[in-house]
Chain A
């Protein structure tokens, strides 16, 4: 029944936002909202419950909002907040209308000043006298990463500080959380590359390819222990708990990739839960941590958490789409790295609705000869890519709805702008 409460206001917001976007000339976003066509094709093909179109009340479970409640649960607050502290969505819509395109700050520019010394600070945390180990640990902190997690964290921290009437700079603890988020992320990348046997990342050889698996694992462990020490030095037990949860989620998410579910509904749930654990938990809990450091209101922590969670899931959904679409233009050949690893991501799961032949391939993790190519073809013939993109949009809309409850600030608006960047990025 959550849905009936939700569907109405949620779609009102969506339509309004579309209108706002159109009037302010953000045409690039509008194109993401011609969801109608997707939805009608979806229902005409009789999709299973999770591939429902917008506003379709009989097929509710694809709504990000509902996933928030039931699947990826952490008590989301969907009742309307009339609290004085919070800014209702309607107000957001009107204030958005007042903003011009140019005023929506670019998140990268806005976060720049807080991130200039990020990699240097991380390298200081990773101090170790043994030179070789040091160079392994520093390898990915070369300033060439997008540092998207620290960026979200510092923007969120500043938005929350303004929301909480705390003027001035970031708190030292908040800055540390930004750094720690990138360290935890990198440690998990190093281990993931060993697990997946990858030899390339960000255009260079992976740690395991250069130094071997034994050292790569130790480097990952070292980065994690340094992150954990920095975390402890913040001196806040709640923050330690929130970010330790991330480490556990990352591993559990990795374990979830080992199995395939027979049942299709379960499979999609499993996929979204895995996505939360592997990607969104870090962003969500980092956002929550910077909130805890400045504000004592659990409702505000929840806004930060929900924004991070929804953006995080959207980010990964787009990533899964890019595995099918990026490189197709430049190289003429797709990477399909996930398929090769035996992983069925969003586009495949949606495509399986249209082409049941995929089911057997998913179950055997694309291990038979030609499976990867055939699955690839099916996905392109289906609207799996559009469906996944569409799902990502809805997570972004939910992220916007959440963050809009904070008091207006350039950083808050940059976080809104960021959701568009997440959806339109192509690498």
Chain B
């Protein structure tokens, strides 16, 4: 029912999404955010994680890096993902690891387990918790890579040679698998089967979340079967929240903190992720005037709210009105339509709600500079 041009556009938006996920933390008020993060990094001792170093220096990934050069000039998403890993790694990619470390430090040494020795801690964090932070980043990166797999049957001649896409896929599958396999062996080394199960279930959630994300990003679905806000939150938790929430919980389990601390850590990770996703979804709607309008996804939170508020019928009308002669979508028109209603402000409210919930969860931990850093991070997601 929809022309190929639209499908190309939405695919472009999809590929762009990968990129946005990479850079989204810096997009929320760069100066403020960067300061929050770099202050936080000082608290946990040395730079967040060395996963990149160990894995990036492996024979396998150097091999991939050599091959990825062949993809320069093609449209395979792996290229952007790789670029992101190299250039954005300072603050953005390793955000999850940083939060795990800060929470570990905020929770402090174990009170019960005799097997855990306080003198093993570096900057107030157990080595196993540092390993966990690395594993969290490994998993996150693995799925950034796997998200960038291309469906070969959707590819047309005008998109470039199919061979490049096949090759790009091969590299993406292999490097994603390599990162995941390293996460698996890393998890096993933690010697805690509860943590292995918890993080494995986070991987399962992530896969499920990405699967939904793909399904609702295909053009037909995004226009007809609108999801409601509750479903959006559920799916966003799977694709963007479960890994951090469960890693935070696992960090508590590794230090043998009680169930209550585990629950609060989980809560902090969950609400921070959801608030953070809302923040990045809101970005295109918060920029004032000037320049090219940003592309945005039809599953971005403000659009979901908007559709729920105006109803399917109005939404379809607005979509029709936003179509150009060549049947492409005029994003600025659509943006204006969304902005004219309460969709944006509802999404902002929800963002603040999650920020507050995260702050609330962290209050139970004793006051410390690590806790302050976590508070700053939770507050920063409401700044635009």
Q: Do A and B bind each other?
A: yes
Report which A residues bind B (CB closer than 8 A): 128, 130, 132-133, 191, 194-195, 197, 212-215, 217-218, 221-222, 224-226, 228-229, 231-237, 240-241, 244-245, 247-248, 250-252, 254-255, 258-259
Q: Decide: B211 and A130 in contact? CB cutoff 8 A.
A: yes
Q: Decide: B196 and A231 in contact? CB cutoff 8 A.
A: yes
B152: chain A residues within 8 A (beta carbon):
197, 212-213
A280 to chain B, nearest CB (A): 17
Q: Decide: B60 and A213 in contact? CB cutoff 8 A.
A: no
A225: chain B residues within 8 A (beta carbon):
200-201, 203-204, 207
Q: Decide: A252 and B201 in contact? CB cutoff 8 A.
A: no
B210: chain A residues within 8 A (beta carbon):
218
Whole-angstrom CA separation of A130 from B209 in the bound complex: 10
Report which B residues bind A (CB closer than 8 A): 59-60, 63, 67, 143, 146, 149-154, 166, 169-170, 173-174, 176-178, 180-182, 184-185, 187-189, 191-194, 196-197, 200-201, 203-204, 207-208, 210-212, 214-215
Q: Decide: A254 and B177 in contact? CB cutoff 8 A.
A: yes
Q: Decide: A241 and B189 in contact? CB cutoff 8 A.
A: yes
Q: Decide: A221 and B174 in contact? CB cutoff 8 A.
A: no
Q: Decide: B214 and A237 in contact? CB cutoff 8 A.
A: no
B143: chain A residues within 8 A (beta carbon):
221
A197: chain B residues within 8 A (beta carbon):
152, 166
B194: chain A residues within 8 A (beta carbon):
232
Give 4 new A-B contacts, CB below 8 A, not counting A237-B191, A247-B184: A130-B208, A214-B214, A218-B207, A225-B200
Q: Decide: A229 and B149 in contact? CB cutoff 8 A.
A: no
Whole-angstrom CA separation of A214 from B146 in the bound complex: 8
Whole-angstrom CA separation of A254 from B178 in the bound complex: 10
Q: Decide: A214 and B149 in contact? CB cutoff 8 A.
A: yes
B174: chain A residues within 8 A (beta carbon):
195, 251, 254-255, 258
7 contacts between A and B (CB under 8 A): A133-B211, A214-B149, A228-B187, A229-B197, A252-B60, A254-B177, A258-B67
Whole-angstrom CA separation of A352 from B143 in the bound complex: 41
9 pairs of A and B residues whose beta carbons are closest in the complex: A232-B197, A228-B200, A232-B196, A212-B151, A244-B188, A225-B203, A225-B204, A241-B188, A251-B181
A259's partner among B63, B173, B203 (CB-CB below 8 A) is B63
Whole-angstrom CA separation of A77 from B154 in the bound complex: 54
Q: Which of A132, A228, A237, A245 has the most CB of B within 10 A?
A: A228
Assuming the A-B contacts A212-B151, A247-B184, A251-B178, are A233 and B214 also in contact, with contact meaning beta carbons closer than 8 angstroms in the complex?
no
B203's partner among A128, A133, A228 (CB-CB below 8 A) is A228
A235: chain B residues within 8 A (beta carbon):
193
Whole-angstrom CA separation of A91 from B177 in the bound complex: 46
Whole-angstrom CA separation of A385 from B138 in the bound complex: 42
B86 to chain A, nearest CB (A): 20
Whole-angstrom CA separation of A256 from B287 in the bound complex: 48
B75 to chain A, nearest CB (A): 15
A259: chain B residues within 8 A (beta carbon):
63
A221's partner among B59, B180, B188 (CB-CB below 8 A) is B180
A157 to chain B, nearest CB (A): 20
Q: Decide: B176 and A133 in contact? CB cutoff 8 A.
A: no
A127 to chain B, nearest CB (A): 10
Q: Decide: A237 and B193 in contact? CB cutoff 8 A.
A: yes
Whole-angstrom CA separation of A237 from B128 in the bound complex: 15
Q: Decide: A214 and B150 in contact? CB cutoff 8 A.
A: yes
- Interface of chain B, helix or strand or loop or mixed? helix
Whole-angstrom CA separation of A224 from B181 in the bound complex: 10
Whole-angstrom CA separation of A221 from B181 in the bound complex: 11
Q: Decide: B154 and A212 in contact? CB cutoff 8 A.
A: yes
Whole-angstrom CA separation of A132 from B197 in the bound complex: 24
Whole-angstrom CA separation of A218 from B214 in the bound complex: 10
Whole-angstrom CA separation of A222 from B207 in the bound complex: 6
Whole-angstrom CA separation of A181 from B196 in the bound complex: 17
Q: Decide: A128 and B181 in contact? CB cutoff 8 A.
A: no
B182: chain A residues within 8 A (beta carbon):
248
Q: Decide: B173 and A191 in contact? CB cutoff 8 A.
A: yes
Q: Decide: A214 and B196 in contact? CB cutoff 8 A.
A: no
A250: chain B residues within 8 A (beta carbon):
181
B188's partner among A217, A218, A240 (CB-CB below 8 A) is A240
Q: Decide: B146 and A218 in contact? CB cutoff 8 A.
A: yes
Whole-angstrom CA separation of A130 from B215 in the bound complex: 11
B317 to chain A, nearest CB (A): 30
Q: Decide: B196 and A228 in contact? CB cutoff 8 A.
A: yes
Whole-angstrom CA separation of A218 from B204 in the bound complex: 10
A224: chain B residues within 8 A (beta carbon):
180, 203
Whole-angstrom CA separation of A226 from B177 in the bound complex: 15
Whole-angstrom CA separation of A237 from B174 in the bound complex: 27
B208's partner among A133, A214, A234, A241 (CB-CB below 8 A) is A133
Give the nearest-CB partner of A212 in chain B: B151
B138 to chain A, nearest CB (A): 12
Whole-angstrom CA separation of A241 from B188 in the bound complex: 5
A244's partner among B187, B204, B207 (CB-CB below 8 A) is B187
Whole-angstrom CA separation of A381 from B170 in the bound complex: 34
B151: chain A residues within 8 A (beta carbon):
212-214
A78 to chain B, nearest CB (A): 28
Q: Which of A217, A247, A252 has the most CB of B within 10 A?
A: A217
Whole-angstrom CA separation of A215 from B215 in the bound complex: 10
B177: chain A residues within 8 A (beta carbon):
191, 251, 254
Give the nearest-CB partner of A257 in chain B: B174
Whole-angstrom CA separation of A213 from B193 in the bound complex: 32
Assuming the A-B contacts A194-B169, A255-B60, A255-B63, are A218 and B211 also in contact, with contact meaning beta carbons closer than 8 angstroms in the complex?
yes
A137 to chain B, nearest CB (A): 10
Whole-angstrom CA separation of A130 from B210 in the bound complex: 12
A408 to chain B, nearest CB (A): 35
Whole-angstrom CA separation of A254 from B177 in the bound complex: 10
A212 to chain B, nearest CB (A): 4
B59: chain A residues within 8 A (beta carbon):
255
Assuming the A-B contacts A213-B149, A217-B146, are A194 and B207 also in contact, with contact meaning beta carbons closer than 8 angstroms in the complex?
no
Assuming the A-B contacts A213-B150, A229-B200, are A248 and B185 also in contact, with contact meaning beta carbons closer than 8 angstroms in the complex?
yes
A185 to chain B, nearest CB (A): 14
B173: chain A residues within 8 A (beta carbon):
191, 194-195, 217
Q: Decide: A194 and B200 in contact? CB cutoff 8 A.
A: no
Q: Decide: B200 and A255 in contact? CB cutoff 8 A.
A: no
Assuming the A-B contacts A229-B197, A241-B189, are A130 and B212 also in contact, with contact meaning beta carbons closer than 8 angstroms in the complex?
yes
B70 to chain A, nearest CB (A): 13
Assuming the A-B contacts A217-B146, A228-B196, are A247 and B185 also in contact, with contact meaning beta carbons closer than 8 angstroms in the complex?
yes
A159 to chain B, nearest CB (A): 26
B55 to chain A, nearest CB (A): 12
Q: Decide: B193 and A244 in contact? CB cutoff 8 A.
A: no
B192 to chain A, nearest CB (A): 8
Q: Decide: A228 and B208 in contact? CB cutoff 8 A.
A: no
Whole-angstrom CA separation of A226 from B154 in the bound complex: 29
A291 to chain B, nearest CB (A): 18
A195's partner among B170, B197, B203, B215 (CB-CB below 8 A) is B170
Assuming the A-B contacts A194-B173, A222-B208, A237-B191, are A248 and B181 also in contact, with contact meaning beta carbons closer than 8 angstroms in the complex?
yes
B60: chain A residues within 8 A (beta carbon):
251-252, 255
Give the nearest-CB partner of A240 in chain B: B188
A248: chain B residues within 8 A (beta carbon):
181-182, 184-185
Whole-angstrom CA separation of A226 from B200 in the bound complex: 7
Whole-angstrom CA separation of A272 from B184 in the bound complex: 24
